[in-house]
Amino acid sequence: DSENCGCFGDLIPMTPLQALIKNIITLVILAVIYKKSKDVRGSFSKLVILFLAISTVMFAALPISSQSKSEGGGFINFVENEEFVNIEGKKILCFFDAGCEHCQHAARSLDSLSNLSEEFPQVHIIFSDTEKENIPNFFEYVGKEYHYQVMPFANYDTDEIDSYMEITFPDYDNPVVILYDGNRQIRLYEGTGEREFKSEDLIRILDNKE
């Protein structure tokens, strides 16, 4: 979970991982001080007590969310288009930034593929609001306007997972393209590395040649 764990309140937002790193650094500093201390009587017990106190605060502050991005069908839960959600056959969900060139290329590839088949899956896009003013230009480049919604880029003020970053970061990089059969996730493409979107791979799956 990448939400703010609340360890430093709202002044210094920290994720659980960042909080853990902070605590480890704190313990290393304390260990160095302990080793250099001349009065070692009771120092070890004090160090243990301080470690337990820090650990207790850290885990007590971790938010408990009712949703998890690690679930196979978890991404579909964030779609506001009920018609898209209720499609029982193949469908494609994308997470894009309107100003991201890789996202634009992926969307254009989807448009090109859709022109090759009348039965191409319906596409729904979730944009972050960081560059929402570029959405018209995005679709102009793509050549077609798909159903879409816009959500906050980051929102760490609630315990809910309700922003783009909380859904995708740090596990997935733009562009994210997910193929579903009903609500069952078949393939997830992300980033520009080994798991990047490949139109030929998508066609192979759609043609049942995988």
pLDDT for the residue 26: 74
pLDDT for the residue 48: 65
199: which 2 tokens?
């139109």
CA atoms of 42 and 50, how far apart (whole Å)? 12
The residue whose two tokens read 């393939």 is 187
Torsion angles phi and psi, residue 127, rounded to 5: -95, 150
- pTM of structure: 0.66
202: which 2 tokens?
């998508």
pLDDT for the residue 51: 66
CA atoms of 149 and 164, how far apart (whole Å)? 11
pLDDT for the residue 158: 85
Architecture of domain 74-206: 3-Layer(aba) Sandwich (3.40)
| pLDDT per position as a tens digit, 91-129 | 999 999 999 999 999 999 999 999 998 899 999 999 999
Check if the beta carbon of residue 49 is closer than 8 Å to that of residue 43: no
Amino acid, single-letter form, for residue 68: S
- The ranges of the chain with pLDDT < 70 are 1-20, 22, 30, 33-48, 50-51, 53-73, 209-210
The residue whose two tokens read 């859904």 is 167
